[in-house]
Amino acid sequence: MRFPRSCGTLAHPTSFPSKYGMGDLGNNARDFIDFLADTDQSIWQVLPLSPTGYGNSPYASYSAFAGNHYLISPDLLVEKGLLLPEEAESAQISYTKVADYTHSFLQKDRLFQLAARRFYQSASSDEKEQLEEFKAANNVWLDDYCLFIACLKAHDNKPWNQWDMDLTRRNPKAIRAFRKENTAEIEYQTWLQFEFFNQWYAIKEYANSRNVRVLGDIPIFVDHNSADVWANPRYFEVDSHGNRILVAGVPPDYFSKTGQLWGNPLYNWQTLEKDNYKWWIERFRQMFDLFDAIRVDHFRGFDAYWQIDANEKNAINGKWVEGPGHKLFNTIKKELGELPIIAEDLGVITPGVEKLRDDFQFPGMKILHFAFNSDPKNSYLPHNYPQNCVVYTGTHDNDTTIGWYRSAPEEEQHRAREYTRTDGSEIHWELIRLGMLSVADQAIFPLQDFMNLGTEHRMNTPGTVQNNWQWRYTPDMLESTDKERIRYLVNLTNRKID
């Protein structure tokens, strides 16, 4: 599926300003969308919106389907009458330029318990009907997820393979007894998901009303400690006790000399194929409902994936194994129709990966930070781009452009200056301009680059677990961003969508 020539910004909702320790889906999200519309941009790219586990990574989630309820805006709950203004005010946290997840979670848990209790006590017949419709529409995953979180809490947040064995193995009698004893918690988790999706759909509708398409993100793998693996162990490489057998990662590369040992359990693709890939069909069905298009993270894993024994300490001793390839995407396309997918095709790319991407006309990704080695045939240099691709300065895994340039070898800096015919003093704007001028159908840039920010504002450093996913901006930072310059470049390069 081809996308129109356009431009956009990468910014995750946790980065928005708010009074509650982390960004959310409230009015500051609308302010950001207004910024996009006012600068003639038409794409908002987000990271996965799923609930985060250890390290607050959106790529390590308790569910491939559920929403991160901490993105719920308390201010919107006040507007709905589910919280009193003074209750919300009592949960406010002194503003910092990094997300204060620990205190935010504590305060929001308290507020959300109050709001959920009021909802169940005073919901109108229409609201009750909407809740039942939500439960029916999401029956593929909702019940398993809410039950999983209730079990997790009852076991002091220990992974599911360390629970009581009857619950680990989902013994029907044990499940019924646990459900009966924990009805209130399960209802609470259900409301959280109901409210999250209500707020998300409202934000997406607002974005679309301002001619902004929302680009989501789907990680290829799911976390071991997730409702997905617990509820569907036959689809994953785990043993009868729930322990991982084979796990995912990538071999040594640009980011790490020992590779990246992600630890996600690999899929049992044979079993998934026998079930006509129904789990994957439902996953993509939901994603296409939540977003206008999606970026598929680690796309190359569908052609071949790096398989590592679960007892390995790093990712060096792995091997490439053939993935489901065309069979999977043909099945999904037959069921769902056109697939508005962008393929994250970075890293070790083979002719097989390129064929899989191109046969379905999925645009790939081009990263300008990777362009300036000594090879004029480098595929990340704009003069080598195909039209059907998406150009970035960098992604959430890269340094900011200013940070990248300052830490790059002098030879690389020189080639960047030579290619842009500048002195490098505004290297972030020069690479933005370069991407805008390229033939790539889409040009998307991290908000930090539009804001002229350095390394201290980086979102994530792959292979590390500390101080990631925390970056936030203040309202004045967005207000002082050079909107006129962005608007000029969008129109100069024919990227405005009327």
Number of separate helices (H) and strands (E) present in the chain: 20, 12
Distances (CA, A) of 116 to 34, 95, 367, 418, 421: 31, 26, 44, 59, 58
Q: How far apart are CA 297 and CA 304, in angstroms?
A: 14
| Helix H or strand E encompassing 354 | helix 351-359
List the 318-322 sheet strands across, edge first.
260-265, 246-250, 304-309, 318-322
**At a CB cut-off of 8 Å and minimum separation 6, what does 268 contact?**
234, 235, 236, 237
The C-alpha angle with vertex 492 and arms to 487 and 495, in degrees rounded to 5, equals: 75
DSSP track, 23-58 = --SSHHHHHHHHHHHHTT--EEE----SPB-GGG-T
Q: How far apart are CA 251 and CA 463, in angstroms?
A: 12
Catalytic sites, residue numbers: 297, 344, 397
Lookup result for tokens 């645009």: 363
Q: How far apart are CA 364 and CA 385, in angstroms?
A: 10
Structure tokens at 490: 């969008």
Nearest CA to 356 among 315, 397, 396, 298?
Answer: 298
Angle between helices 27-38 and 183-209 (to 10 degrees): 20
**At a CB cut-off of 8 Å and minimum separation 6, what does 33 contact?**
44, 203, 206, 207, 210, 212
